[in-house]
Amino acid sequence: MSPFQFGLDIFSTSLGLLVIFLAILFFRRRRHYRLPPGPAWIPLVGNIRELTTDPDLRIPLRRLQKKYGDIYTLYLGPIPTIVVCGYDAIKEIFIKRGIEFSDRPAAVLPTIILNGGKGVISVSGDIWKNQRKFILVTLRNFGFGRSKLEEKIQTEVKLFLSEIGKFKQTPFKMMPLIQTGAGNVISHLVFGGHFNHNDPRFKIMMDGFESFLHYATAGSLSIFMPILRFVPGDFFGIKSIANKLQVIKDFVNDLIEKHLEKFDEGNIEDFIDAFISEMKKQNDGEKKHFHKYVIYHWNNITLFSTYTNQFKTLIFIRLSSEEYLAAIIMDLFIAGTETTSTTVTWASFYLATRPDIQSRIFEEIKANVGTERLPSMQDKQSLVYTEAFIMEVLRFCQILIISVLHAPVSDVWIRGFHIPKGMQMFPDINSVLSDPAVWGDPENFRPERFVSEEGTLVKPDEFIPFFTGRRNCLGESLARMELFLFISALVQRFEIMPPEGTTLDIKDVDGIFGGTHAPKPFYIRAISRQAKEMN
């Protein structure tokens, strides 16, 4: 027998044993817990087949909800997952009982290759509470949600408009321009820096984040089987994405190192400085957000003990505070850049394809703000239709089809079902934002649904594009501010149109379903309104 054949036999035998182990494990688990109903699953691959019947993830999700109800069980790879649909169920579980369901499940592959399950998005318990509190307090000190931050955003808005003007009516892609603008807002807060629109470092960063988010979709088997990253070769593209992210990590670590070298306690200029300052105040053994030793309950590894309830296994991971800082920075860049840039790109598509809507937005801005100065946050109350348009983009395009995974902090009963501690659950945001019972005609793009008969803005409880509850999006207030300032300024200064002699169709643009729902690349033109009036 050749060495190659011997190795192949060993691999096949190991894979077979793994399948048998997982089958026994999860069939055994069904005896211990009463899970919601769901489709039959195949050991190892789970219900991937059901989720890949259509390239649009929303279609199989709606089909499964119709068949199994608002709470059902899917196996994503070998991992059981509780899907929660509809506003009533989401409200019941993640708002009314939010404390019970505020944990994150054990790290699946995306969080492993992104930040090793550290940062603020992926962690649970006291670590998450302390990290989130520190981040919010610190960012507020640097103007988060205040006029000081608006000034920085307006600086980026002006540069954004200037870059668009350079195309002089020739077709261009919106995504790279708005990524730089939104990314620079985060850069100001995090490290007091700024990227030029043609900076190759920033392009590498955005390419890495985009690859990661487009990969992070429930339809990929490897996401829920982290062990596959050790398989020789790169069949699943894991190593390629990890290499791209490593370039970003190296850049972030270099930023941290430079801040450590020049750190001055009396001159705290940005988030990194503030973190270093707080880090120096903590003792290594304290159980706060900068402690050196973190106790991690990794349910994916301790499945057998979790399901039998006979004992618990604790994994001690030695972490440096710098590692946590690097992970938080990665989280902030993703949360603060991707949602905003994707939403503005979708908005530019609907501005180009719905001139009636674009004209109404412009007339509202012209009547209430004029054209001499840029719109400000003080103008938001008077620009009702403009804000309604932004809300409809968020609802209709659904940047987040599903929310970040949640998990119960302990064994719980919900609607007659027994859900074990640590089991991953994902809230189906699409089921709410596309619910005919709520919106009447959810399939139509109609900003007027958010405007009352009296002309005031209407925000239904079911409008949850950033999710809701204890673990809603950390950067929601920043994203809303950016969306309003960038989009209103864009319409004020430019008329957005398709490339000359062409049309844009949603069938050609929709969509890329990964960590976010992004449009496929497309081109638009921007006609200067000032130049148009002069002609």
Residues flagged as binding site for heme: 473
- Work out the angle between the directed axes of helices 384-397 and 355-368 (0-180°, nearest 10): 150
The SS3 call for residue 7 is helix
Rounded alpha-carbon distances, angstroms, from residue 490 to 48, 233, 345, 529: 41, 45, 11, 10
Structure tokens at 332: 């902030």
HSE, CB side, 13 Å, CA atoms: give it for residue 281: 9
The SS3 call for residue 103 is strand
d(CA 157, CA 155): 5
d(CA 401, CA 510): 13
d(CA 357, CA 283): 57
Radius of gyration of the chain (CA): 24
Answer for the pair 93, 70: CB distance below 8 angstroms, yes or no: no
d(CA 370, CA 373): 7
Nearest CA among 258, 268, 222 for reference residue 241 = 222
HSE, CB side, 13 Å, CA atoms: give it for residue 177: 25
d(CA 520, CA 507): 10
Q: How many residues comprise the chain?
A: 535
**CA atoms 178, 184, 189, 190: torsion sign:** positive
**Residues near 220 by beta carbon (within 8 Å), at least 6 away in sequence:** 236
| Parallel, antiparallel or unpaired: strands 510-513 and 517-519 | antiparallel
d(CA 207, CA 454): 45
Residue bearing tokens 């499945």: 303
d(CA 188, CA 269): 10
Rounded alpha-carbon distances, angstroms, from residue 188 to 16, 277, 289, 425: 52, 18, 23, 35
The SS3 call for residue 511 is strand
Residue type, 479: A
CA dihedral 280, 286, 287, 291 (to 10 degrees): 40
HSE, CB side, 13 Å, CA atoms: give it for residue 274: 19
Q: What is the arrangement of strands in the sheet containing 424-427, beginning at the earlier edge strand? A: 71-76, 79-84, 424-427
Annotated binding site: 473
* Residue 16 backbone dihedrals phi, psi, to 5 degrees: -65, -45
